[in-house]
């Protein structure tokens, strides 16, 4: 009885081993191009996710640089021939975009940011990013808050950005950023 049970168990092990060997053999009979295509596809998908994350970070950095009055860093987020188009007109290139923000006539002063005395900030939301190689588009919403008389955040303006982005010198930058006011117009 013991020998019969041991024999059955050995046969079962042999069947499982043969089945595993057959599956393994089938896996290795796939064509090399099919296997390479699968790995490239995964690599392309991972690259797209990394690109989207880098663009997401760029969109967040834009708001941070604007709100902390780091206008030089803000300007550097734009490509060499990048444009910003909005309520302050059309501006081209990092230097012109930096000058636009730093100009006192535009209601901004290049004073150092004081995190203990924040008077206003932008809230960026609803990012939609589409990557196509070294080019991308993005759409996002923004709301501008100021400190109310009772020292609470009060939304004053809201709108959206329509962006065209480009990978320049290995980094994502704005090629075109159009800032639209939705409320109030």
User: Per-residue pLDDT tens for 147-169?
Assistant: 999 999 999 999 999 999 999 99
- pLDDT tens across 63-98, in order? 999 999 899 999 999 999 999 999 999 999 999 999
Q: Is 84 exposed, middle or buried (0-12, 13-18, 19+ CB in 10 A)?
A: buried
Question: Which of residues 39 and 100 earns the better pLDDT score?
Answer: 100
How does DSSP classify residue 93?
S
CA distance 42 to 77: 29
Task: Specify whether the CB–CB gap between 161 and 139 falls below 8 A.
Answer: yes
Tokens found for residue 175: 């090629």
- At 110-120, the pLDDT tens digits run 667 888 888 89
Cis peptide before 184 (omega within 30 of 0): yes
Domain residue extents for the chain: 49-183
Domain 49-183, CATH 3.10.450.50 — does that match?
yes
Q: Is the pLDDT of residue 100 over 60?
A: yes
Pairing of strands 78-86, 171-183: parallel
């Amino acid at each position: 009885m013991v020998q019969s049970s041991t024999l059955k168990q050995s046969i079962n092990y042999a069947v499982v081993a043969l089945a595993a060997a057959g599956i393994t053999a089938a896996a290795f009979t796939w064509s090399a191009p099919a296997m390479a295509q699968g790995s490239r596809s995964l690599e392309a998908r991972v690259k797209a996710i990394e690109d989207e994350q880098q663009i997401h970070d760029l969109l967040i950095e834009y708001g941070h640089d604007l709100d902390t009055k780091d206008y030089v860093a803000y300007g550097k987020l734009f490509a060499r021939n990048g444009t910003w188009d909005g309520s302050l007109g059309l501006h081209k290139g990092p230097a012109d975009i930096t000058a636009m923000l730093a100009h006192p006539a535009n209601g901004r002063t290049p004073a150092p940011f004081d995190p203990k005395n924040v008077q206003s900030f932008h809230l960026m939301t609803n990012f939609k990013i589409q990557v196509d190689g070294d080019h991308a588009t993005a759409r996002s919403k923004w709301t501008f808050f100021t400190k109310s008389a009772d020292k609470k955040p009060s939304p004053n303006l809201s709108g959206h950005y329509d962006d065209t982005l480009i990978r320049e010198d290995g980094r994502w930058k704005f090629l075109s950023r159009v800032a639209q006011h939705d409320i109030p117009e």
